[in-house]
Structure 1
Amino acid sequence: MSKELETGNEDLSTDGVREDFEPADEELSSDQERLRNDLEEANDQLLRMKAEVQNIRRRAQRDVENAHKFSLDKFVNGLLPVVDNMERALGSVDDESRGDDAVSEGLELTLKSFIAVLEDFHVVQIDPVGQPFDAELHQAVSIIPNNDLEPNTVIDVFQKGYTLSGRLVRPAMVSVSNAL
């Protein structure tokens, strides 16, 4: 396996040269493989970090949106008893004197404008008379036997419920029908 090359006055021999480089080649290829694995691992970590940052941004944005959307929650809960009292006051005025009495007319207009303002801020009244009972939106206060209606139909509303931007603020307190 020995070859000799002559170039001018010099004799070059390749004896043992290939054997000397073979371990270096193996070492080099194992280093390359290790570096390749390290690079893949670093790229994988980078992708995971980018995804995590994106998830954090989305979560923060959603939290800010929810904070804006539901920041009125306490305020709305404070106003609902006022609406209830205005409705009770209007309910106590009999129908004959309602049109003649300036106070009841003013109370009715005030209640309508109050409810309109609430609706402008995405507060929606739940008045479920005649609808099927929904435990997510209603709180059953009593059960009344009634064969004329389907079982679990809302017969009467004691207190209206409200949602704020689709989220329940207060459930409607209702009476529900039951078959005899």
Structure 2
Amino acid sequence: MDEIKKDTSTENKETEEISYEGSAIEDKPRDVVENLQNELSQQKEKYLRLYAEFENYKRMIQKEREELVNYANEKLIKDLLPIIDNFELAIKHAGSDLNSDWLESMKKGVENTLKEFLRILEKYGVKQIETVGQVFNPEVHHAVSTVETEDIEDNIIVEELRKGYLYKNKLLREPLVAVSKKAKPSEEGGSSSHPSGVQNDRIEKED
């Protein structure tokens, strides 16, 4: 009888061991699958980050390439602007009362050369910036002086001292301008004693 009980106990123990081993075998593949899924998820996130970084890099390179093509002539055009300034100064100082037909012909030749020069530059995207009569914009204009006046409101450009240019909507050179400043009334209620005086108050903007 004792032997039968012993055999039964042994069988139960073996059954429990087999059941435990079977459970362990079932749990082990589940852990492996979970680990693989976690690793796959991590690799997917890493791939998406790298892909996003690569796309941003491609867009940056494309933008730089487009800017390089669009503004390839910027330095050359900027170097030509002083020549235009000299043409304009020559025409300005020549005046309208010339003593000879030769000088008049020379002036017209310079004017025609300047017009043709500006036409070609405009063909490549260069435009002069409008100034006189416009509201002063510190992002575009460079004020070198103020002019007190009774007839014009504050911050209106009243004189252009040097022309400015845009190159394909990019500021190539700021125009130098004089800006209006409303004259303050005197103590007697009249206007300032220097209604049209020019003051060299520089605006905080450098070339």
TM-score range with shorter-chain normalisation?
0.7 to 0.9
Letter in 2 for 1:50: Y
Runs of 4+ in 1 over 6 A off after TM superposition: none
Tell me if structure 2 keeps the 8 A contact 1:152–1:176: yes
| One of 145, 150, 162 as aligned partner of 2:148 | 145
- Report the structure, 1 or 2, having the larger strand content: 1
RMSD of aligned C-alpha atoms? Answer: 1.8
Question: With structure 2 as the length reference, what TM-score do the two structures score?
Answer: 0.75
- Mapped to 2, the partners of 1:48 and 1:78 lie a distance apart of 45
Residue correspondence of structure 1 range 11-160 to structure 2 within 5 A: 16-97=17-98, 101-160=104-163
- Mapped to 2, the partners of 1:116 and 1:24 lie a distance apart of 86
Secondary structure of 1:142's partner?
A: strand
Q: Unpaired runs of 5+ in structure 1?
A: 1-12
Deviates more, 1:50-59 or 1:16-25: 16-25
Secondary structure of 2:152's partner?
A: coil
Tell me if structure 2 keeps the 8 A contact 1:144–1:178: yes
Aligned residues: 166
Q: Offset at 1:16?
A: 4.7
Deviations 1:62-95 (A, max 9, x none): 1111112222222112100000011111112223
- Mapped to 2, the partners of 1:113 and 1:14 lie a distance apart of 105
Q: Offset at 1:36?
A: 0.4
* Residue identity (%): 32
